[in-house]
Structure 1
Amino acid sequence: MLSFLAKRVPRTVTANQNPVIFDGGRSRIEFKAPTDRYLVVNRWPPNSGEANRNIALRPPLHWHRHQTETFHVLQGTAEFLYNGQKILKNAGDLITIPAKAIHTFRNYSESEELVIEFVLEPQWRERDEAFFRNVQSYRDDCRKAGVPRSLPQVLLFNWVGGVVLALPGPAIVAKPLGILLNFFGGLVLGKYILGYKSSYPEYYKVLI
Structure 2
Amino acid sequence: MFDQLNVPRTAIATDNPVLFDDGRAAMEFYTPSNKYFGRQIIPVGNRWSDGTRSFMAPVAHYHLLQTETFHVESGRGLWYLKGKTIERSAGQDITIPKYTWHTFENHPDSAEPLVILYRYDSQRFIMEESFFRNTLTYLWDCGRAGVEPSVLQLSVFIVAAWMPADFVQCPGDYLSCFVNTLAMWMFAFIGRFVYGYKSTYPEYWDEEYIRTRIGEESKKAA
SS across alignment from 1:117: strand
Instruction: Find the counterpart in structure 1 of residue 80 from structure 2.
Output: 81
Q: How far off is 1:71 after superposition?
A: 0.3
- Consecutive unaligned residues in structure 1, runs of 5 or more: none
- Answering whether residue 184 of structure 2 is matched by residue 182 of structure 1, we say yes
Q: Deviations over 1:22-46 (max 9, x none)?
A: 1343111111133101111111221
Alpha carbons 2:164, 2:181 under 8 Å: kept: yes
Deviates more, 1:22-31 or 1:149-158: 22-31
Amino acid paired to 1:206 = E
TM value normalised by structure 1: 0.90
Paired with 2:124 and 2:203, the residues of 1 have a C-alpha distance of 21
- Consecutive unaligned residues in structure 2, runs of 5 or more: 209-222
Amino acid paired to 1:35 = S
Deviates more, 1:112-121 or 1:100-109: 112-121
**Map 1:127-138 → 2, pairs under 5 A:** 127-138=127-138
Alpha carbons 1:77, 1:107 under 8 Å: kept: yes
Amino acid paired to 1:183 = W
Amino acid paired to 2:184 = N
**Map 1:2-151 → 2, pairs under 5 A:** 7-47=5-45, 51=50, 54-108=53-107, 109-151=109-151
Amino acid paired to 2:105 = R
SS across alignment from 2:91: coil
Q: Deviations over 1:101-153 (max 9, x none)?
A: 11000000441111101012444111101111111010000011011101100
Q: How far off is 1:66 after superposition?
A: 1.7
SS across alignment from 1:163: coil
Count, aligned residues: 204
Paired with 2:44 and 2:132, the residues of 1 have a C-alpha distance of 21
Q: How far off is 1:58 after superposition?
A: 1.9
Deviates more, 1:136-145 or 1:104-113: 104-113
Paired with 2:61 and 2:206, the residues of 1 have a C-alpha distance of 26
SS across alignment from 1:118: strand
SS across alignment from 1:129: helix
Deviates more, 1:79-88 or 1:166-175: 166-175
Q: How far off is 1:199 after superposition?
A: 1.0
Amino acid paired to 2:187 = G
SS across alignment from 1:96: strand
Q: How far off is 1:165 after superposition?
A: 1.4
SS across alignment from 1:133: helix
Amino acid paired to 2:70 = F
SS across alignment from 2:203: coil
Amino acid paired to 2:182 = L
Give the direction of change, closer, same or farther, for the CA distance of 1:193–1:168 in structure 2 (3 Å limit). same
SS across alignment from 2:70: strand
Q: How far off is 1:75 after superposition?
A: 0.1
Amino acid paired to 1:120 = Y
TM value normalised by structure 2: 0.85
Aligned CA RMSD, in angstroms, stands at: 2.1
Identity %: 35
Amino acid paired to 2:39 = V
Give the direction of change, closer, same or farther, for the CA distance of 1:33–1:66 in structure 2 (3 Å limit). closer
